[in-house]
Amino acid sequence: MKKILLLFIAVVLALMALYYAFIYFVPYSEGVRSGELIKVSHKGVLVKTWEGEISQGISGAQIFPFSVLDKDAQVIEKLKEYQGQYVKVSYTERYATFFWLGDTKYFVTDVKQEQSPHFRN
């Protein structure tokens, strides 16, 4: 009976590890979005995560929420610097997320400052 219980626990742990690896390492999609960077925050009670928003519409009706992993410190610093400016972000969309990674399924991997299309000559 003890061997069956240990085998069951091992199988459950292995399945949980596979699920985590799938969620973390297998992207659902990858892409680029642009807009005005309207929010960057470090929020949470138990676990702090980096979250942000890009306005993709003139009136702010189309908001793209995203998360940034703590390991991407350079991206976080650029986002803080470009706050309120027009940016282009590269992102990876995951199938799901875990609370310690971020609030959204969209994780920004790079950010570049761009000229707004609304103010071109």
Question: Where along the chain do its domains lie?
Answer: 27-119
The CA distance from 41 to 55, in Å, is 15
The whole-number average pLDDT for the span 40-65 is 88
**pTM, full prediction:** 0.83
* Single-letter residue type at 54: I
Paired tokens of 88: 């282009």
Architecture of domain 27-119: Beta Barrel (2.40)
CB atoms within 10 A of CB 49: 19
Q: Over the stretch 81-114, which tens digit does the pLDDT of each residue have? A: 999 899 999 999 999 999 999 999 999 999 999 9
Q: Over the stretch 6-46, which tens digit does the pLDDT of each residue have? A: 999 999 999 999 999 999 899 999 999 999 999 999 999 89
Region class of 3: left (phi > 0), else alpha (psi between -120 and 50), else beta: alpha
Contacts of 81 (CB under 8 A, 6+ apart): none
Q: What is the pLDDT of residue 57?
A: 76
